[in-house]
Structure formats: C-alpha cells, structure tokens
Chain A
Amino acid sequence: MVGSVGSIAATMMLVSSSSLDDSDPELIRRVAGKDRRAFETLYQRYAGRLHRYLFRLIAQPDVVEEVLDDVMLVVWESAARFNHTSRVSTWIFGIAHFKALKARARLSGRAGEQPVSEDQAGEGEGPEDATLRGELGRVVAQGLKALSPEQRAVVELTFYQGRSYQEIAEITRCPVNTVKTRMFHARRRLAPLLAALGFGPRVASGESRE
C-alpha cells in the first residue's frame, strides 16, 4: 500500500494542473451532477483528514474506515442538496461528526476502546522532537480519551483541524456558547496532564507577546 501513495500524489498533481477550477464548491457542484472524477478528487482531499477526525471520536480503527465510507457516500448522495452558504469542509465534517457519534452509540455495547500501538503512531517530524512530543502526545491521547466525545471533538477541531468556534458550532450542531463550555471543561481536565509533564506557563513564560 505504501508504494501506491507516490502514485496517488503524482496523479493528484496531474489532476490539479489539468483541471482549472477544482475548488471545493466547484467539485461539489460536479459531484451533484454525478461526476465520479470530481468525487475522487474530493476523496483524495478529505479522506485523510476525515479518517483522523473519525478516529479521534470513534477510537476503533476497524470501524473508522467503514464510517469514512458512509460519510463519503452521504457526500455523493446529498451533494445536490448542499446549499453553498457554509464552507464545503464544514459541511463534510458536520456529516462526519454526526456519523461518528452514531457509530459510537451503536458500538457502546462493545468492548472498550483499543489502545493505539506505538508503531501506529506515525507523525513525520525530526527525531529530536519525536521523543518529547511522543511522550507528550501519548499522555494527551490518554487524556483525550477521558473526555466526552463532544469535548474531544471541540479540542480536535480547534487544535488539529484549526477551526473557528463558529465553524465548530456548525459542525457539531450546537450553539457557540456550548462549544466554548465544552472547551472550557476540556482545558480544565487536560491542564494537569500538561503541568505534570513540565509544560504550561512555567516553560512558556519566556515566550514573546503578540
């Protein structure tokens, strides 16, 4: 599978240079007209990000791919109903959020969440950071699991997906104040973990002001 990544990247480059307008809204318009190539481009663009988000919420690798399929099928089937008032990515993540919570509800009877093994943790960065960050990441990953899925969603959407709180409200279909409250609780629960690892204000006090 690893070998195919290169060829995907190569074909993606080919596609982006050959089709002039492959902006998200344009792709959705074409998908609404049952254009499979547009759908494939959209898939290449979103599958990785969606997979990560779904994994954060569902935490069971074997289920994540299945749910990702469901999300993309909804995109295929309801692209015509997308009203173009919000960003395409917000719409797609909203579908993913909904599907993930549904999957969680369905799975709640099943055995506990599988821990992620270390060799599954693949983040491309320098070896000198990797140890420290790896340690921090693992601890925070455990901390994240202790949060409610809704709190985890807000943390992930803010700090990994870089969303504004308004967008998060749209994705998770709740008022902006709820987003802020969920983040408030998540910060409260995660702060001691960071402090225990020597992170927090003590380390960061030398940082310059903006």
Chain B
Amino acid sequence: MTTTETHHQEIWQLLPWYVNGTLEGRELDAAKAHLATCEACRDEAARCRDLAAAVQSAPAPAWTPSPAHLARLLARIDAIESPGGRAGGWREWLQSCAAALRESLWSTPPAMRWALAAQGALVVVLAATAIWQAAALYGPGYRTLAGSSEQIAAKRPEVRIVFAEDITEREMRALLDRVKGSIVSGPSTADVYTVRLAADGSAPALDVLRADHKVRLAEPVQSQ
C-alpha cells in the first residue's frame, strides 16, 4: 500500500512534465501505466493542461526585437570592445600575470625561486619598456593612454543607422552625401548600417540624420 502510495505521489509530481511532453524513457512509461489505472492522476493531468493553456494565454506585453533595440545593444558591445572600453583592463592583465607568476614560483623548489623571480622581474621590466616605447611611437592612438578612444572617435566618428524600410537607394546616397558619410558596414541582419562621418562636425551630422524622416535611428558608435 505504502509503495503504491509513494508511486502515486511520484507520478503526481511528474504530471506537469508529462503534459508538456518532456518526460522520457522509464518515467514516461511509468506515468502512462499509472494514468491508465488512476483517475485522480488523470484529473490532475487535465488540470495541468488547463494550467498550461492559462499560462500560455496570460497577458504579457507584445514585444518583438526591434532594430533600434539591437543597435543600442551593439553600441554597448562597441563600448566594451573598444580600446580602453573596460576600465582597469591593463590592471587586470597585470594582476593576472602577477598571480600566474606567484603560482609558478610556489610550485618551484626554493633554490630556483630567486633565480626565477629575478628573471621574471627582468621580463616585466623589458615588457613595460617595450609598451612605453610603442606608446610613444604610435602616439595618442595607442591603447594604453586613458582617453585615447575618445580622441579616435572624435577624429572619425561612426554612427549606427537604421533607415526606414521605404528609403530608396538614391535617397540614402543623398542623405549620406549631406552628412559626408560613407558606409563602413551593413546592412546587418537587423538592417543596421555603420556609417563613418567626415572628420569634423559629427554633432550637426547626427542632428541632420535624426531629423530625416527616412531615418529610424542614428546612434553614435562608442559613446554611452
């Protein structure tokens, strides 16, 4: 009796997943066999089906992914991926190097530790020197300097644009001419174009784009 009761309880607990069709193998067989003889569980399965129908028809905001939403998301990804986009990137890198060094040192016989430590220190010094030399060579565009990404963006501003569906090729060209922009990439799967603007005056260009009724969205790349 108790084992039958336990079995009944087990099946009863599984009924929601019997109803949604995800029960498999032995559990599915057991559920089917039990349902054939247990009216209470058949009733409960019916109740679960009603619950499923109710949950499926429960109101939720009608929302579909929009190009504008995706463009904003991509702008955030640009910010992450851009040079210096993640604060403390270099610090994290140095910390992980130091941690790796410490770990390898402590797993080494003591006699070798000092030699390795000295060597490691030398490597770090050399690497740092190389980085600073490169920074000097490549000027403000090099990634180690804070604020460099803004300077790049200011030089060659890029904008993500979603055009209206009914824009013609000619209208698009005329508009891009007006803002002195050229398409860098696009259209993406969500019809997003990346457009590089002229070296100066991205702000008025953005205003022109946003004011145009054939532009659904214009968002500067790499800015928050």
Contact = CB atoms under 8 A, between A and B. Distances in A.
Interface of A: 1, 3-8, 11-12, 15, 34, 36-37, 39-41, 43-44, 47-48, 51-52, 55-56, 61, 64-65, 69, 72-73, 76-77, 116, 118, 120-123, 125, 133-134, 136-141, 144, 155-156, 158-160, 162-165, 167, 180, 183-184, 187, 190-191, 194, 199-201, 203-205, 207, 209-210
Give the secondary structure class of B's interface.
Answer: helix
Contacts, number: 192
Contact of B60 (A56, A73, A118, A187): A56
Q: How large is the interface on B (under 10, 10 to 19, 20 to 34, 35 or more residues)?
A: 35 or more
Contacts of B14: 165, 180
Nearest to B189: A40
A147 B64 CA distance: 27
Interface in B111-170: 162, 165
A144 B61 contact: no
Interface of B: 13-14, 16-17, 20-24, 32, 35-36, 42-44, 46-70, 72-74, 76-77, 80-81, 162, 165, 187-191, 216
10 contacts: A1-B64, A4-B66, A8-B64, A52-B60, A73-B76, A137-B57, A137-B58, A140-B55, A159-B20, A201-B43
A22 to B, nearest CB: 10
A77 B190 CA distance: 21
B27 to A, nearest CB: 10
Give the secondary structure class of A's interface.
Answer: helix
A9 B223 CA distance: 29
Contact of B35 (A7, A162, A210): A210
A121 B35 contact: no
A158 B20 contact: yes
A204 B47 contact: yes
A164 B76 contact: no
B26 to A, nearest CB: 14
B190 A140 contact: no
A139 B55 CA distance: 10
